[in-house]
């Protein structure tokens, strides 16, 4: 049975809960941390890090990651997305970022992750 994929999140940023919350302007111990801590968990803890999964378990069975994604999950990614250090397959979304709900914060969260990734890439130069 295939997992229902709600979001595919390719990133080269090393997920860090404190950095994530700080970049969103969320204070520790508050209501914001409860909401966006759950977002972090959904995106980076409870999700499937498919590149790692592929390398660890399936690289002998499938020719490459693209083939594995297509056959196992029915998903195709661009070459650019496949080159990311990590590819997270998110199987559930908290209400605060679920596009089903009006006024969700998904775009803000994705922009935050993009900025964290850019900052990390600048630090590596």
The CA–CA distances, whole Å, from 83 to 19, 56, 77, 86, 115 equal: 23, 17, 10, 8, 18
Supply the pTM of this predicted model. Answer: 0.89
Cα–Cα distances in Å, from 26 out to 38, 44, 122? 12, 17, 23
Whole-angstrom Cα distance, residue 62 to residue 75? 15
pLDDT at 50: 96
Indicate whether 36 pLDDT > 50.
Answer: yes
Lowest mean pLDDT among 24-28, 75-79, 94-98, 120-124: 120-124
Q: 125 or 57: which carries more pLDDT confidence?
A: 57
Mean pLDDT over 9-13 rounds to 95
Q: What is the pLDDT of the chain when averaged over all its residues? A: 91
What pLDDT score was predicted for residue 1?
A: 33
Q: Delimit the domains of the chain by residue range.
A: 7-124
pLDDT of residue 124: 61
pLDDT of residue 125: 54
Indicate the pLDDT class of residue 92, thresholds 50, 70 and 90.
very high
Mean pLDDT of 81-104: 94
- How many other CB atoms sit within 10 Å of the CB of residue 10? 18
pLDDT at position 123: 65
Give me the pLDDT at residue 41, please.
96
């Amino acid at each position: 049975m295939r997992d229902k994929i709600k979001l595919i999140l390719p990133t080269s940023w090393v997920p860090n809960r404190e950095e994530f919350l700080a970049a969103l302007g969320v204070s520790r111990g508050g209501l914001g941390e409860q909401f966006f801590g759950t977002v972090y968990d959904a995106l980076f803890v409870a999700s499937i890090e498919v590149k790692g999964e592929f390398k660890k378990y399936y690289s002998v069975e499938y020719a490459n990651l693209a083939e594995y994604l297509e056959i196992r999950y029915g998903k195709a990614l661009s070459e650019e997305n496949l080159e990311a250090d990590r590819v997270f397959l998110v199987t559930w979304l908290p209400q605060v970022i679920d596009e089903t709900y009006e006024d969700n914060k998904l775009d803000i969260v994705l922009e935050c992750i993009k900025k964290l990734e850019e900052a990390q890439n600048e630090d590596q130069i």
